[in-house]
Structure 1
Amino acid sequence: METLTIDLLPRSPNANVGSAMADVFIDTMIAEALRAEKMDSSDQADRISNLPDVLLVLIVSCLSFKECVQTCVLSKRWRSVYLETRNVSFKETDFLSPSVNANPIRNALGRIVFVDYVRRWVTRIHDQPIDTFEISISYPKTYLDVIESLIAFAVRKRVKNLVLDFSNPAWRTFHDVNLDELVVEIPESVYDLATLESLKVCACNKFDPANLSNLGKLKTVSFGWMELTDPEPFLTTSRVESLTLNDCWGLEFNMIKGNMREVAIINCEFLLNCIFDLPRVDILKYSGDLFPFEFDKMNAIISEVDLDFRVLDNNNDESDDSNAEGGMLCHLLNNLLDDGGRSATTLTVCPFLLKMIPRSEHPHFLRPMETKHLVLKTELHPREFNGIRLLLMNCPKLETLTIDLLPPSPIAMASSYAGIDPQTYWMQNISYECQRETLKAVIVKNFIGGAKELHIVKFFIRSGCKRLERVELYMPFDLDNGRKVFAYAKSEMLQKISKHLQVVVHNS
């Protein structure tokens, strides 16, 4: 890069921002620009820059908004083109660097400059259409007038995809939410925006999804970080196909019902038991607390089911409730996925489930499942071993097993637990139907060549898996060179003992 041009437009009269404040934003933009891919003056670069405007606009519209802004440093031509992107995203976290956020004074000044930049951007947008518009800013009380004008701008542009996110990045669960920060109210104009195809609303006040029922094109909705008492009327009357509930509370309804294809419920507070009535669901993801689930009308074959109860995992599975929790989890799997009714092509489970299902009073009541791809999110702790075996036993048609090692990746041997010795557990001469008849691939993610990883992979190699074709090992992307050499050496060792299959290493 030979030349870097920053085009500072005149500030709005009501924006009293000093040069020090502007420097915060300029420093951030320059740093991001310098990280962008450098383009030389080669013929290839010239050919791209000489394309018609309509093609260049299509190119920048395929980029993220942050990358789109970075193209303004390429040449004078691009300084005007990037303003015509059809996808606009004003995310505070994208525009303010971590160094700015770490300093309260610089953060306050940076937010002022960020909002002033947003104002000036919008004033430069004239007749070109906008498909996607996002505004994401925390502590919105100071900027309610700006937010109101930005929402009005999005409505005037008849956008298809709208994101209104006023959550605080510091929040970890809905218990952290300060209700005084929920000050933005969605105007009636959004509820009447007939062009909307997707909508995300986070950390708003007095939000009522029932008002969205008349939006016939709306297919994807996401609600987060706010009270949501009863979305059932909206879900049953709308044409929504994808629903995400993230850290919502006050869910007093007892049924999630509708024709959604994809449903994701993440760390929400249900006040009552919940019944799922989703006859068309293809992807079902749940993360959060464990309470009685019931399943009424559900799709016979669900492509993907993901169950994550790690919020309950305090590494103490000796509590009096563990037998009951294990029984509830077995009942959940039986009720949702058994070979007498429904099945999931891919089933993803968490360490808590692996620890608890063997502790059920009747763990062997767990019924066989039709699952073909089992994903184990695991620390490979001895407490999880019996749960892994129990699932292998009850997935007789399993074709692919993925072992997704959670951080910290295991390196040293863990101590024995309840008579389970990690050095000898996977040496037992036991195999299950899936190993003998159907299992074709074993995938290990975050592989570093640790002892526990090697023990379980060797178990599948030597357990007589007749159809096993390959073992795929994915190393962490940030693994240092010395550790990579070690991991490669261990993979070569696995290949030497694997005469009938291929061991493949990926440097992800």
Structure 2
Amino acid sequence: MDPNAQPDRLSDLPDVLLVLIMSFLSFKERAQTNFLSKRWESLYLETRDLSFKESDFLTASVYANPIRWLKARADFVGYVRRLVDRIRDQPIETFGISISYPKPYLELIESLMAFAVQKRVKSLVLDFSNLVWRTYNDVNIEKLVVKIPQSVYDLTSLESLEVCACKDFDPSKLSKLGKLRSVSFGWMELTDLPPLLETSRLESLTMKECLVHDLEKISSVHLREVAIYNCDFYFMCIFNLPRVDIFKYRGDIMSFGFDQMNTIISEVELDFGAAEKKNDVSYDSYGIEAGMICEFLNNLLDEGRRTATTLTVCPFLLKVIPRSEHPHFLRPMKTKHLVLKTKLHPKEFNGIRLLLLTCPYLETLTIDLLPPSPIATASSYAGIDPQTYWMQNMSYWCLWEALTTVIVKNFVGGATELNIVKCMLRSVGERLERVELHMPFDLDESRKTFALAKSEMLQRSSMNVKVVVHNS
């Protein structure tokens, strides 16, 4: 025996803990544990969570080679068949099947759905979307082939359901499932949704890349979380969600109304990047879009009478909101945590400043830096110089009474990000307690050393503030 060998502490754990650990692994990672030992192979069969994801099994290089792709899919399907056959007597709580181009495997998919129904699973994922799809427009509705059987609609044990790219899906048939609390729909047409929302006790609703018919109101007294990603609505939709805690929207600028909403919404996330891709107009022509976005936010927060405790916004919003004109100016907000997703382009600077000025009750400011890296100096735009903009006198920001923490994600020590942090240090003064700098996990050693040196410079410039560096 090698005296220097490290003890295998993992194998000393009881089976019940190992099975729990395996439940957090991906499908591919779980499959790999079979090769460790006979004990691990038997442990895999004891798991109560089964999730078969084609994308976990097939690598990117396999997708690029048609012959290897066909063989890998056959291996994936064969593995699924063998594993399911071996655990016929094992209780299962979570079951998922995710496979693209499902037509050759309809018989298998039907048997897997029957297996999930027989096991009376609590959580079910049926995802037949395609990795090459980018928007709903890439979906050919006529080629969707998987139909949800009535037995799934009648599965009273269901607490969570995700359905993607299915044919003739009818959400109204789920309205009698008394335990159902979370649903997610994607890559298909949605019709007859109100019966599910109005009669069930759903707490979470997610819609992604869906064409939504005949839905003029999303109304529920139970929904706590609503997420809408790149969906196309036929009509103006009104939200009536008196208990909602989390509201996320990503997509084009839509005409939404907000009726009875929760007075305090814990988390609001808005991403209108799709509008920038869709509307091929110059930055100077974004006045209409700016007014629509400001009106969207003002209506959501009821002209300041509702609160978004945490508000997350996108670069496009930062670019256009300063171009809004009366009567669509952005109203003051009671937000306590503002998250700015930004590329730190000079086009975004005025929007950053405007949002900061409309949030006088801020306690935490997060600057989430998006690629390209701001370490590359941006050029001036419309008289805005990134080297000097944040050095201006902004002493009126001293109205902030509660700001104590500034967080910078993906910090690399670039000039503009440093200038913004220095501006916070000057403007907020002694009330600011902490600056957290999160470096990217893939930063090479030379750039990491550079970023650390810049963080130390920030610490020396203000001894009243604690600068904390997180090396992801």
Secondary structure of the residue aligned to 2:192 is coil
Moved >6 Å (runs of 4+): none
Structure 1's 465 and 294: CA in aligned 2 closer, same or farther, altered over 3 A? farther
Secondary structure of the residue aligned to 2:183 is strand
Mapped partners of 1:349, 1:199: distance in 2? 29
Q: 1:373 aligns with which of 334, 337, 362?
A: 337
Mapped partners of 2:283, 2:24: distance in 1? 51
Would you say the 8 A contact 1:415–1:422 is kept in 2?
Answer: yes
Matched, 1:272 2:235: yes
Residue 89 of structure 1: CA displacement? 0.8
Residue 112 of structure 1: CA displacement? 1.2
Residue 77 of structure 1: CA displacement? 1.4
Residue 242 of structure 1: CA displacement? 0.4
How does the TM-score come out when normalised to structure 2? 0.95
Q: Deviations over 1:368-422 (max 9, x none)?
A: 1110000000111111111111111110100100000111111222222122111
Mapped partners of 2:361, 2:84: distance in 1? 56
Secondary structure of the residue aligned to 1:194 is coil
Mapped partners of 1:491, 1:385: distance in 2? 22
Would you say the 8 A contact 1:165–1:201 is kept in 2?
Answer: yes
Specify every segment of 5 or more residues in structure 1 that has no aligned partner in the other structure, as ranges: 3-39
Name the residue aligned to 1:201.
Answer: 163
Would you say the 8 A contact 2:27–2:56 is kept in 1?
Answer: no
Q: 2:7 aligns with which of 31, 38, 42?
A: 42
Name the residue aligned to 1:438.
Answer: 402
Secondary structure of the residue aligned to 1:384 is helix
Aligned length in residues: 467
Residue 434 of structure 1: CA displacement? 6.3
Structure 1's 466 and 207: CA in aligned 2 closer, same or farther, altered over 3 A? same
Name the residue aligned to 2:265.
Answer: 302
2:7 aligned partner, one-letter code: S
Tell which deviates more after alignment, 70-79 or 277-286. Answer: 70-79
Would you say the 8 A contact 1:165–1:203 is kept in 2?
Answer: yes
Structure 1's 246 and 43: CA in aligned 2 closer, same or farther, altered over 3 A? closer
Identity of counterpart residues, as a percentage? 68
Q: 2:145 aligns with which of 183, 203, 208?
A: 183
Matched, 1:410 2:410: no
Matched, 1:231 2:196: no
Name the residue aligned to 1:105.
Answer: 67
Q: Deviations over 1:213-237 (max 9, x none)?
A: 0000000000000001231221111
Matched, 1:483 2:409: no
Mapped partners of 1:383, 1:73: distance in 2? 54
Structure 1's 434 and 121: CA in aligned 2 closer, same or farther, altered over 3 A? farther
Mapped partners of 1:186, 1:370: distance in 2? 45
Name the residue aligned to 1:428.
Answer: 392
Would you say the 8 A contact 1:338–1:368 is kept in 2?
Answer: no
Name the residue aligned to 1:461.
Answer: 425
CA RMSD, 1 decimal = 2.0
Q: Deviations over 1:6-37 (max 9, x none)?
A: xxxxxxxxxxxxxxxxxxxxxxxxxxxxxxxx
Specify every segment of 5 or more residues in structure 2 that has no aligned partner in the other structure, as ranges: none
Q: 2:78 aligns with which of 100, 112, 116?
A: 116
Matched, 1:383 2:324: no
Structure 1's 213 and 495: CA in aligned 2 closer, same or farther, altered over 3 A? same
Tell which deviates more after alignment, 129-138 or 313-322. Answer: 313-322
Would you say the 8 A contact 2:27–2:53 is kept in 1?
Answer: no
1:273 aligned partner, one-letter code: M
Would you say the 8 A contact 1:132–1:159 is kept in 2?
Answer: yes
1:505 aligned partner, one-letter code: V
Mapped partners of 1:435, 1:86: distance in 2? 54
Tell which deviates more after alignment, 116-125 or 460-469. Answer: 460-469
Secondary structure of the residue aligned to 1:313 is helix
Q: 1:290 aligns with which of 253, 257, 261?
A: 253
Residue 143 of structure 1: CA displacement? 0.6
Mapped partners of 1:434, 1:88: distance in 2? 54
Residue 43 of structure 1: CA displacement? 5.9
